[in-house]
Amino acid sequence: MGKGERPSERLRVPQPLIRSRVPSGRGATEQPNVTGDGETALTPAFWLALAATGVAAGLLGALLMLILFEVQYAAFGYHSGTFQAGVEAAGVVRRILSLLVAGAFGGVAWYLLRRATRGEHSEVDDAIWRGDGRLAFRRSLGTSLISEVVIGMGASLGREAAPKTMGGAAASVFADRLRLSTAQRRLLVACGGGAGLAAVYNVPLGGALFTAEILLGTITLPVILPALACSGIATLTAWVYLSRQATYLDVPDYRVGAAVLVWALLAGPVIGLAAAGYIRLVGWVSHHQPAGRRALLAPLAAFAVLGVVGIWYPQLFGNGKDMAHDAFVGTGTMSLFAVLFVLKPLLTSLCLASGASGGLFTPVLSTGAVFGALLGAAWSQLWPGSPTGAYAMVGAAAMIGAGMQAPLVGLVLVLELTHTSFGLMIPMIAATVTATAVARHIDGYSIYSARLPATGKPGDPQGSPGAEDGGSAAPSA
């Protein structure tokens, strides 16, 4: 070792089977991501719990999607085709009636569940970031079932929150059964949460990166190995019912062009500004949800507004999957993209404000898709030649990356969800990096941290309807 060189004697725990070093004499642990397991020992008991968690996350995710689809079919009277087509064919009266029933059911069901399980935890993010990783299975199950029913009936919320919650809840149960340490439980619950998302969207790599980049904030070997294993097992298990195809089918294989690349550099900061505004809106409405008996009627009122607006814009029903797909394939006008870009965040936030539980992943992604399509269509007036769908793909990646404050997850999820458009990688990176950097510089919250319960309120404060279901805002900056 030369003079002034720093010795590398990080201790690998557990020790490798081969104890001798390679001829250079340098330590394997000089590569930072392969150092010891730290507090989270990857013991045989942990791997057993991880395998069980993966299977449970896949089965529970498939069950929740079965419930969601059956509710959609019953509510809108269709049995094939897209959800949006089913909503449009159902007629105005049926659409509004479906949401009124969803509001009445959701208001009563959430009110009773939260009273019966006061003080129990069902929010994966908070359990990992601020707690000991423990989740209450009965509250998690109740919240998830109610959420999927109301989303199936048209509520403007994401469907991923329920499988994420149930993956984490199953992990918490297995951690207790096998007497894992607190650190092991946190890692296992994070893997279960990411695996739930992976299973229902068929995105094993995206689910693993969701675990590492968002839930745990580190991409090291002792984290990414179990995260990949759990998401892979869950995705494979969910194939017993769910499709092995991409979530968004028939999206063209777009290629990069000079127009799209230059646009991405200019649009990224604008999308970052929009994402920061969306996140602040989510944080505000989450913290000002109705308490007490007002929570019984709030979902009914909010869903009624959605139903009325949906008379003219049925694309706003549900999580926005079909809205994003239309943008990805270039279907729609500038005026329609502009209206959907404004209304989707407002109505999703209104649903959250009512105390409803649900996810934000697809609503944010679909907002980014129509915003990208809008900005791209306008840009094409100056520099024609590139399809609107290519701009929508870039916009979706940038918006979800900035909204989650996780650019890797945003990029991978859009590619895995469509199984196409790797040719757009460079403009997608350019827009996602700049959008995430701008959102981080302006504010720094994400669609997950903005919904955390206020500091000092680990349970339901004074009967608040959503402290453990993502219903309260984070403490002020």
At 388-415, the pLDDT tens digits run 999 999 999 999 999 999 999 999 999 9
Over 90: is that where the pLDDT of 316 sits? yes
> Range with the lowest mean pLDDT among 9-18, 126-135, 311-320, 344-353?
9-18
Q: What is the mean pLDDT of residues 65-93?
A: 96
Measured in whole angstroms, how far is the alpha carbon of residue 412 from the centre of its chain?
A: 13
pLDDT at 5: 54
Same fold, 44-238 and 258-463: yes
Would you say 179 and 373 are in contact if contact means Cβ atoms under 8 Å apart? no
What percent of the chain is predicted at pLDDT more than 70? Answer: 93
- What's the pLDDT tens digit per position in 164-218? 999 999 999 999 999 999 999 999 999 999 999 999 999 999 999 999 999 999 9
pLDDT at 65: 98
pLDDT at 469: 40
Would you say 270 and 326 are in contact if contact means Cβ atoms under 8 Å apart? no
Look up the CATH number of domain 258-463.
Answer: 1.10.3080.10
Four-point Cα dihedral 284, 287, 293, 295, nearest 10: 60
Mean pLDDT, all residues of the chain? 92
DSSP calls for 34-103: GS--TTS---HHHHHHHHHHHHHHHHHHHHHHHHHHHHHHHHHT--SS-HHHHHHHH-HHHHHHHHHHHH
- What's the pLDDT tens digit per position in 258-283? 999 999 999 999 999 999 999 999 99
Domain ranges of the chain: 44-238, 258-463
Q: How many beta carbons lie within 10 A of that of residue 97, not counting itself?
A: 15
- What's the pLDDT tens digit per position in 130-161? 999 999 999 999 999 999 999 999 999 999 99
Burial state string for 414-445 with b = 16 or more CB within 10 A and e = fewer than 16: bbbbbebbeebeebbbbbbbbbbebbbebbeb
pLDDT at 6: 55
Would you say 112 and 331 are in contact if contact means Cβ atoms under 8 Å apart? no
> Range with the lowest mean pLDDT among 23-32, 76-85, 99-108, 216-225?
23-32
Would you say 371 and 342 are in contact if contact means Cβ atoms under 8 Å apart? no
Over 70: is that where the pLDDT of 356 sits? yes
**Residue 167 is which amino acid?**
G
Q: Which residues pair with 255 in a beta bridge?
A: 423
CATH 1.20.1250.20 fits 44-238, yes or no: no
